[in-house]
Amino acid sequence: MFYTNLSVNISENQKHNLKRAMESKSPVSIRLGFEDLCGNDILALTNAQVKRMAKAYENGKGITIKMSKRQVVRNMKIEGGFLGMLACLASKALPFLAKTVLPMLATGAL
C-alpha cells in the first residue's frame, strides 16, 4: 500500500495510544481537530485518508483517522516520525527496566 507522509499535531494522550498500538501491533483510531491538521508530527496516511483530511480542512472540521495494524507498523518506520522515536526509546528503556525495576518489583522493594 502507498502512504503519504503528512505533518499533523498529535496530543500527548494520542501519542500514548499510538505507542500502545505500536507495542501490541494493533489498530488504533485518533481524532484530529481542525487545528491539529497541520503541525510537527509526521504520520503516514493512505490516499483515502489524505483526501478525507483535505476535505475536513476545507470544511473547517476535524477528522478521525483509523489506522490498521499494517499502517501502525509503517508509521514506526518513518524517518523523522515520532512513532519510530518511541520505538527506539522503548527498545533502550526495556533492558534498563528489566535490570533495575523488575527485580525490585519481584522482591517487593517498590
Whole-prediction pTM value? 0.67
Please compute the mean of the pLDDT values over residues 71-81 and round it to a whole number: 74
Q: What digits encode the pLDDT tens for the residues 57-71?
A: 999 999 999 999 999
How many structural domains comprise the chain? Answer: 1
Q: Which residue has the higher pLDDT, 53 or 102?
A: 53
Inter-residue contact 65 to 29 (CB < 8 Å): yes
Query: Has residue 103 got a pLDDT over 90?
Result: no
Domain that holds residue 98: 4-107
What phi and psi, each to the nearest 5 degrees, are found at residue 56?
Answer: -60, -40
- What is the rounded CA–CA span in Å between residue 18 and residue 65? 12
Q: Look at residue 64 in the predicted model and tell me its pLDDT.
A: 96
Q: What digits encode the pLDDT tens for the residues 20-38?
A: 888 888 999 999 999 999 8
